[in-house]
Structure formats: C-alpha cells, structure tokens
Amino acid sequence: MTPAVQIRAARPTDADREAVARINAAVPREERHDIEPRSAGALRELDELLARRGHALCRHVAEVVATGEIVGYAHGFHVPWEHHPARFWCAARCAPGHRRRGIGARLFAAVERDLARLGARELRAMARETQPEMLALAARLGFQELFRSWDFELDLARPGAGRPGGRAAPGVAIAPLSEERARRPGWLAELHALYLAVNREVPLPNHLDPELPADAFAAYLERSPTSLPEACFVARDGDRYVGLCILHRSEDDPARLDHLFTGVAAASRGRGVARALKLATIDLARRRGYSRIATAVESNNPGMLALNEELGFVRRGGLVVFERRTSWNLAG
C-alpha cells in the first residue's frame, strides 16, 4: 500500500533543512539545477541571506504520515539578486520512489497559495534541457522560456584548445590574485566594487547576494572549501581594475576547474579583456595538470558565447529558465 503523505509548512529547524538538503544531494550531477543547496548549512545560508535582505520565503515539505520522513519539498522566495518585490524563484523536488504520485503538484499548489498572499506577479523556475517531463510540466503550469544557461567544457588535451587567433587586451596587465594581493594593499575594496558592479548585470549569478559584503567576497575568493586564489585573475589598466575572473576546484572532479565568473568593467569592454583573462586561466590549468575547465554562459550573452566557441569550449547541455506572469483569485 502506498503510504499516506501530508503537505505541511517547513520548520526553520536543522532537521527540516537536513531533509531538504538530502533530497537535493541525491540528484545526479547531470540533473542538478542552480540554487539547490545540498547541505543543511548551505540551505541555512540561503535562508539567512533572504532574511537579511528582507526577502520573503515560503517552503513546504511532503511528509510520510506514518514515519515523519520528508520525501519532497517546494519553496518560493524573492529572487535575491534582483530588487523586485513581486518576482519570486520557485523550485520543487521529490525523493526517488515518491515521484509521479502527484506529490510535486500538491507541494507547488501549497507554495502558490503563499505566493498569492505575498503579492507575487512573476514566477521564475528552472529545468534541465534533458528533462522532458519537467519541461512539459512547466508548460502545463503556464511557464514560458525566458533564457537558457548552457554548460560548456574545454578539453585541454584537444589540439588547438584555448589558442585563439585574436589579440588579447593590449595595454592591460593580467595578474593572478595571489600576486595582486601582495602588490596592492587596497586590492580588496577596489576589486569588490568592480565585482558588485558587474555581477548586477548577470541574469543568473553564481553567488546569489547582489550586495555581497567585502569580507564574504574575500572568503569566496580565498577561503571557501573549493577556493583556488592562484586561479583567479585580475585585469589592470594602469592603476584601475577593469576585469576579474574566478575559478574554483570542482567539488566532484579533481581533474576539473570550474570557471565561475568573468566580468569586465563596462568602459573596458570590446578590448579583449575577457579573452586575456580566459587565456590566463587556461594556461594555469595546463601548468597545474588539470584536464578540463567547465563554465556556464547564458543564451542572452552573445559575446561570451562567441568567445567560448573561439577558445574551443564545447556545449554540454544546460538549463532552461522559465517565467510565468500571473494574477491570483483568492476568493474562497
């Protein structure tokens, strides 16, 4: 007999967060979405970020009545990197063995009721290109494609990989963060300002906090479990920072570097700065014995898509970001 499952509001407890994180952690890498914390600590950080910014969060869980086991969740929250009071990010997952039973639909309906009361007018959601069932569900729920975030990978052993023909940023100096930090005492404040300015333009940023404090930015660069400061490079035009790229070690593949961020100041674009930064990371990856570099680029960023193709990155699928504009009838 199929066990009875109830939908209830999630509690802000370690137990509930651990259950939600376990569901996310069980998702195979090729099916993962962005903003799916896979540890209770990471989920707590997301919740605390939303609380600090005054953003709303509603989360529901599916619980087996007889055992109390949490087998699914759904939540909606203000899109943290955008200042829009009626725009919310939505996500839902069910544990293996509890899918195709209508639990996800019940969870999403509970979240929808909360979002209606919060005045949501735009909902965002995500699905993998390779998940036709989720794509079809999004369509049935009234979501329409907004843009895509494509995964790319550079095989450093492939002949010609990372060796473009164009010039790379004449007059601009490229240096690893480790050198720049020793050379320039005020590096953090200036680089932090550049990062914040550029990150606000990214439609799907790697770090969700649009006002990431300077100390947290330094930790992101240097002290997170996957940080690799020597693989982060800065571009300098005279005494001005005009570009930055951030790479970390992969969480699950010791032979791969993950290229998380490339940003160039608006006034310095079109000069080959991004190309120069990427070439520096490719050279470092080769010298350190890595075999691959992975990155992601949004479909509405034609300049970076063209640069990746020029450097030999190959597309490996990606994510579809959906939007639904809605109005609510709360009668009854």
* Residue range 29-59, pLDDT digits in tens: 889 999 999 999 999 999 999 999 999 999 9
pLDDT at residue number 237: 94
- Average of pLDDT values for 192-198? 95
CATH of domain 5-120: 3.40.630.30
Coil, strand or helix at 243:
strand
Percent of the chain with pLDDT over 70: 96
> What sign has the CA pseudo-torsion 267, 270, 275, 276?
negative
- Rounded CA gap, 316 and 51, in Å? 35
Q: Of 103-117, 206-220, 273-287, which gets the smallest average pLDDT? A: 206-220
The H or E element that residue 183 is part of is helix 177-183
48 Cβ contact partners less than 8 Å away, ≥ 6 residues apart: none
pLDDT digits (tens, 9 = 90+) for 117-147: 999 999 999 999 998 888 988 898 899 999 9
Percent of the chain with pLDDT over 90: 74
pLDDT at residue number 202: 86
Question: Residue with structure tokens 């949490």?
Answer: 70
CATH 3.40.630.30 fits 152-319, yes or no: yes
Same fold? 5-120, 152-319? yes
Q: What is the pTM of this model?
A: 0.87
- Rounded CA gap, 81 and 209, in Å? 6
Q: Of 44-53, 82-91, 168-177, which gets the smallest average pLDDT? A: 168-177
pLDDT digits (tens, 9 = 90+) for 209-260: 888 999 999 999 999 899 999 999 999 999 899 999 999 999 889 999 999 9
Residue 177 contacts residue 230 (beta carbons within 8 Å):
yes
All structural domains of the chain with their residue ranges? 5-120, 152-319
Number of residues that make up the chain: 332
Binned at pLDDT 50, 70 and 90, residue 332 comes out as: very low
pLDDT digits (tens, 9 = 90+) for 269-279: 999 999 999 99
- How is residue 43 written in tokens? 């989920």
- Rounded CA gap, 96 and 99, in Å? 6
